[in-house]
Structure 1
Amino acid sequence: MLLILAKAATKQAYKLSIVKVAEDLPKLVRRHAMSLENLSPSRRRFLSSALGTSIGLTALSSGQEPESNPQPTALKRAPHVYKFQIGDAEAWSISDAYFPLREGLGLMWPEEKRPEMDALLQEEGRRKEDAVPLYVNILVVRTDKETVIFDAGFGGKENERMGWLTSGLALAGISPESITAAFLSHSHSDHLNGFAREGKPAFPNAEIHLLQSEIDFWRSPEPDFSETKRNRKNLPNMIKTVRNHFDMLEEVLTPHKQETTTLLGGLVTIEPAPGHTTGHACFRIRSGGEEFLHLMDLAHHDLLMFADPNWTIAFDHHPKQSVETRKVFWSEAAAKKTRCYGFHLPFPGIGTIIETGPGYRWAAEPWRW
């Protein structure tokens, strides 16, 4: 068969221009496709090379240079952008950051439970963790009327550890100006800072919805951090940074009272989930009969925060309250088998919560390209 094709191509070369040969070689290959299956691997590779050469020759004959690195016309997959559906709505999970928190289990509380946490990690086949992995996943949802973003990551210039949201949005074909609404769960830097760029709102056409209690906490003369396990040396600068961002975003901040509120024609419901911060919120998205729950910072680890909801992380402002809140959300989500999304869970952060007796398990949803 290889000889037949070679003879056919040679015969046509005497009669036709090099362009015609380039155009007809793929046709000859297709004409004899059934027979190609019987060729040896080396001969199939030869024909594949010949076919590639013919395509290049055709491009040159039309005055075009073949692309050495062609760009996709529509995003199918990318290392830090994952597209999926929520009912009738398009959705993207965009990674803004990933890096290890070197304090490891030193960030987890109660302190006396750390040996038990370590044993659980070993039992589940995890490498001994000398660091807690920090994922930062940004959810974007688009309908025929709205393009909505939930929290905005660290902001700043992109580097090897963080700041990937802007390039991720571009890969998804979403411009900052096209964002019509935004939601802020709470005001820690990995959630708030990305809403501002060069001293102005990063998404100029979007109102940022948040709970009034979150603003009140940070604007109070002396925010109460008496219960947190955070490093207190960092608190003054953190408070200053949050207030500066509130000032930059003042014109687009839209606070809501501390109660469940549904917006955007039923697309998004704000649900108070206090504990991690005073005004921490989760978000429930509804589209096409599907319900999708954004857990925000109710979980910072895909194993530890589910196996025992009583375990907390140093970043919680009110640890006891965060435990109470987590138990309520975990119980309901497990009972309803609600599809969930985790801001700090392994990318892309989609899964369900399964009750396993005294605790729970995070069941990550398989990727679907």
Structure 2
Amino acid sequence: MATPDRRTFLGTSIAGLAAAFGPPARAAETEASVAPPRSFVYPFRIGEVEAWSISDADLELGEGLDLMWPREAHPRMTELMQQHGESTATLPLYVNVLVLRHGNEVVLFDAGFGGRGNPKLGWLADGLASIGILPDQVTAGFLSHAHSDHLNGFISDGRPAFPNAAFHLLPEELAFWQGKDPDFSKSKRDKRPIPGMIDEVRRNFDILRSHTQPVKDGDKLLNGLVTVHAAPGHTAGHACFRIRSGNAELLHLMDLAHHHLLMFADPAWTIAFDHDPQTAVVTRRRFWSGAAERRTRCFGFHLPWPGLGHIVSDGPVYRWQAEPWRWLA
């Protein structure tokens, strides 16, 4: 792993920040003198539901296209990136947390990195405070998968960060991490941080055990507000979520896409963090096809903030069409 510099804040693994990015103290040192605003919060609505996109981090993955597979497609990836004025040396890491409020329910979809003593990440708590939501007001947390930028924000100082929230995830995700030997044999990621990552996930799951209420593919929760969709490949129990209110709908894509060009121009292009790349491709094609055909409004955890848009079919490929900002009064 290369050494972080002041320009790029190098990262190598979304899944294991402490292990793979290096110790938090070193990461904080990199950009300690550059403190961005502590919360970017975008309000919008899904029918009768109040919604916000809260940015939790501002990072760059310094490996750039070296994170992308297959290797033989790198010339095409490079051409695409250059056509759109995008850097191939680094890839942006947006971390957009979806928050809903409807009646007495306050719902999170993943919770970001959590507090790490680094000004470049862990902004969710400040974002929630800025819209008047206290941790004990959160009633439900949905976890797409257990990589650190999704799971760790559910933990604070060794305790559940949202003490009154039910914690929902697919049982396949629990089983994978809690099994005797979690299988990373198909993943292209650096294998060295994996033991530490597994230990961290297991500790966090133990902390959240009393709050955990597993859900199944197709389950509808909160009076039909949220539908759970199994979307395996990135991890064994990776999930997407569909939010419906009246005639309005939003499909949360979670980690089906890590880049606003690369995962759409060719759904067969994968990122090193996928546990099972071939399954991830099959899943992505299914979701892209359905969302494009139905013109479903979508939300992307790793797409440019605030992460709202549509997937558009463009001949044999797709493209991400970001939704214009509309600031609410």
- State whether TM-score is above 0.5: yes
Q: Which residue of 2 aligns with 1:42?
A: none
CA distance in 2, matches of 1:79, 1:344: 16
Corresponding position: 1:102 with 2:62: yes
Q: Which residue of 2 aligns with 1:236?
A: 195
User: Is the CA contact 2:49–2:245 (under 8 Å) kept in the aligned structure 1?
Assistant: yes
Instruction: State the 1:334 CA deviation.
Output: 0.3
Q: What aligned pairs does 1:329-344 form with structure 2 within 5 A after superposition?
A: 329-344=287-302
SS at match of 2:281: helix
Residue 253 of structure 1 and its aligned partner are, at CA, apart by 1.0
Give the counterpart of 1:140 among 91, 99, 103. 99
**Structure 1 equivalent of residue 40 of structure 2:** 80
Paired position in structure 2 for 1:62: none
If each structure's helix is expressed as a fraction of its own residues, which one has the higher value?
1
Secondary structure of the structure 2 residue equivalent to 1:230? coil
- For residue 291 of structure 2, give the secondary structure of its aligned residue in structure 1: helix
Q: Deviations over 1:160-190 (max 9, x none)?
A: 2101000000111111111111100000000
1:34 maps to none
CA contact (8 A) 1:285 1:293 kept: yes
1:127–1:272 CA distance, 2 compared to 1 (3 A): closer
- Distance in 1 (alpha carbons) for counterparts of 2:124 and 2:54: 6
Quote how far apart the aligned CAs of 1:158 are. Answer: 5.1
Residue 10 (structure 1) aligns with: none
What amino acid is aligned across from residue 173 of structure 2 in structure 1?
E
1:317 aligns with 2:245: no
Whole-angstrom distance in 2 between the partners of 1:84 and 1:198: 31
Which residue number in structure 1 is paired with residue 132 of structure 2?
173
Q: CA deviation at 1:79?
A: 5.7
- Counterpart secondary structure, 1:232: coil
Amino acid aligned to 1:111: R
The CA distance in 2 between the partners of 1:256 and 1:334, in whole Å, is: 27
Deviations 1:108-161 (A, max 9, x none): 00011011100011122x143200100000000111131100000000245321
Aligned to 1:113: 73
- 5 Å matches for 1:153-172? 153-157=112-116, 159-172=118-131
1:91 has 2:51 as partner: yes
Corresponding residue for residue 35 of structure 1: none
Q: Is residue 152 from structure 1 mapped to residue 79 from structure 2 by the alignment?
A: no
CA contact 1:334–1:355 (8 Å) conserved in 2 = yes
Q: Partner of 2:311 in structure 1?
A: 353
In structure 2, the residue matched to 1:58 is none
Q: Share of identical aligned residues, percent? A: 60
SS at match of 2:284: helix
Cα contact 1:158–1:164 (8 A) shared by 2: no
Q: For residue 233 of structure 1, give the secondary structure of its aligned residue in structure 2.
A: coil
Deviations 1:263-289 (A, max 9, x none): 110000010000000000000000121
Q: 2:273 aligns to what SS in structure 1?
A: coil
Contact 2:39–2:127 (Cα < 8 Å) also in 1? no
Aligned-residue RMSD, C-alpha: 1.3
Deviates more, 1:79-88 or 1:226-235: 79-88
Matches within 5 A, 1:285-304: 285-304=243-262
Distance 1:231 1:141 in 2: 35
The ranges of structure 1 where at least 4 consecutive aligned residues each deviate by more than 2 angstroms after the TM superposition are 157-160
Residue of structure 2 in register with 1:9 after alignment: none
* 2:175 matches 1:216: yes
1:131 aligned to 2:90?
yes
Distance in 2 between residues matched to 1:224 and 1:335, nearest whole Å: 35
Letter paired with 1:152: A
SS in 2 for 1:190: helix
Partner residue of 1:362 out of 311, 316, 320: 320
Stretches of structure 1 that go unaligned for 5 or more consecutive residues are: 1-77
Instruction: Work out the CA distance in 2 between the residues paired with 1:190 and 1:255.
Output: 20
Map of 2:19 onto structure 1: none
Q: Which amino acid aligns with 2:248?
A: E
Aligned equivalents of 2:185, 2:82: Cα separation in 1: 34
Is the 8 Å Cα contact of residues 98 and 136 (structure 1) preserved in structure 2?
yes
Cα displacement string for residues 310-331 of structure 1 (whole angstroms, at most 9, x for unaligned residues): 0000000000000000000000
Partner of 1:15: none
Partner of 2:146: 187
Q: Which has the higher contact order (CA 8 A, sep 6+)?
A: 2
- Residue number in structure 1 paired with 2:31: none
Cα pair distance change 1:159/1:327, threshold 3 Å:
same
Q: How many residues align?
A: 291
Partner of 2:33: none
Query: What is the DSSP-based 3-state SS (H/G/I as helix, E as strand, rest coil) of the residue aligned with 2:169?
Result: strand
Amino acid at match of 1:317: H
